[in-house]
Structure 1
Amino acid sequence: MFSLERRENLRAYLTGLKPYIVLSTIVFALSIAVGYITYGIYPEYAMQSISGLEELVEMLEGLSLLEIMLLIFINNTIAMFIAILFGIVLGIVPLLVLVLNGFIIGTIVRLLLVENGLAFIVAGLVPHGIIEIPLLLLSTSIGMKIGYEVLLALAGKPSDIKNEFIKGMKFFFYWMVPLIFVAALIETFITPVIMYLVAGT
């Protein structure tokens, strides 16, 4: 059981992140919409933007399930860590992470919707995405909050960059990394099974 003090500290920290979580959610949703629409209008451009994913898929084909799971875990951990770490650059990097991921998801959703239908998309995204997407939004929110503290300092206003950075890193390693691992497990071992059942092949 977590102590009352720890629970209160966690609640207070998440409450302080609320404005940034809202902003992250809006940016992420808009980026998904842009990716979805772009594929409909300029499919060639949209496909070029996700061309790197084909190389990743080819690389994964030669790996064991355990290796795939570890690769997904490491990749997602690094991406979210970068979103927090480089939030110090005025919060710009977290926004770029959101836009890039949202655009890619929007493009893939439009592509799969045409080829496989809505049920296949839900099966491919929801099992692990229900954990992974909130974690992405949390990591970018933490990065943006750190960036805001930097902006306050540059404007000559009271700020506490060091304390905010430490709190963000503690939250990342204590709470987020274990959940990133769980999401990687689900994405590797459960999501493909559900997609197979939905596809019926």
Structure 2
Amino acid sequence: MKPRDLFRHFKEMQKYFIAAALVFLAGFVLGYADSAKFETLLQSQIQGLQQLARSIAAKDHSMLWLFGFIFLNNALKSIFIVFAGIFFGVLPLFFLLVNGLVLGYLASLQVQGDQLAMFLKGILPHGILEIPAIVIACAYGIRLGAIMGKGFLRLPSSQGRQVFVVEFKRFMQLSVPLMGLLVVTLLTAAIIESTITPWLIGK
């Protein structure tokens, strides 16, 4: 299928996009409002990222290493989460919730430290591309989960099995331009995050 087929399919995906965005927003609100409740879980993840960032900064051509890590990490995760939806959409929902929690938690820390402007500088330039890409990837993962769930219920019916095959085949065909869209979007976001974002934070 071609990219225009994917964009046409977006109209059918509206409820999944809304559902994915709401789960992400719920995670953000929980992470922001009840940051103390999730502090142990989220701090361990953040510390792991900080250690990785320090190791990258110590390398020669650190900006290229940073770009490569950001792009590969985000692209591989987004592709994985689309197809991880095969387990009835559970993993994409969890991925959205955790990412929302982390972002909300970081926002809470920055607001408490009177560093909201710094937080926005660090998130918005690449986040306007990266967050929608994550939401789209997870929405398609949830969609795959719905296809699998309905297919499981239709197993006793031969007609139901035929419907499942058609829906699953169409999803796989759409996944090709979807992967292209995600890769291009996250490539652009990685360029911004590894170049413009450090410059903005340093100002």
Distance 1:171 1:115 in 2: 42
Paired residues of 1:88 and 1:146 also in contact (CA < 8 A)? yes
| 2:31 and 2:38 in contact (8 A); partners too | no
Structure 1 range deviating more: 107-116 or 29-38: 107-116
Q: Distance in 2 between matches of 1:97 and 1:142?
A: 13
- Matched with 2:157 is none
Query: Structure 2: how far apart are the matches of 1:94 and 1:42?
Result: 20
Q: 1:82, 1:19 → 2: CA distance?
A: 21
Cα distance change, pair 48–175 in 1 and its aligned pair in 2 (3 A): closer
Match of 2:70 among 66, 69, 72: 72
> CA 1:37/1:48 → structure 2, altered by over 3 Å: closer, same or farther?
farther
Question: TM (normalized to structure 1)?
Answer: 0.87
- Over the aligned positions, Cα root-mean-square deviation in angstroms equals 2.0
Q: Does the aligned pair in 1 maintain the 2:6–2:174 contact within 8 Å?
A: no
Aligned position for 1:19: 15
Partner of 2:54: 58
Is 1:29 the counterpart of 2:25? The answer is yes
Q: State TM-score, norm by structure 2.
A: 0.86
Structure having greater relative contact order (Cα 8 Å, sep ≥ 6): 2
Which consecutive unaligned segments of at least 5 residues does structure 1 have?
Answer: none
Unaligned runs of 5+ residues in structure 2 are: 155-159
Aligned equivalents of 2:7, 2:153: Cα separation in 1: 29
Report the Cα offset of residue 42 of structure 1.
Answer: 6.0
Q: Say if 1:9 and 1:43 are closer, same or farther in 2 by CA, change over 3 A.
A: closer
Residue aligning to 1:145: 143
User: Number of matched residues?
Assistant: 192
Cα-to-partner distance string for 1:109-132 (whole Å, 9 max, x where unaligned): 111222242211111110000000
Identity percentage over the alignment?
24
One-letter amino acid of the counterpart of residue 23, structure 2: V
Amino acid aligned to 2:186: I
Measured in 2, the distance between the counterparts of 1:53 and 1:194 equals 20
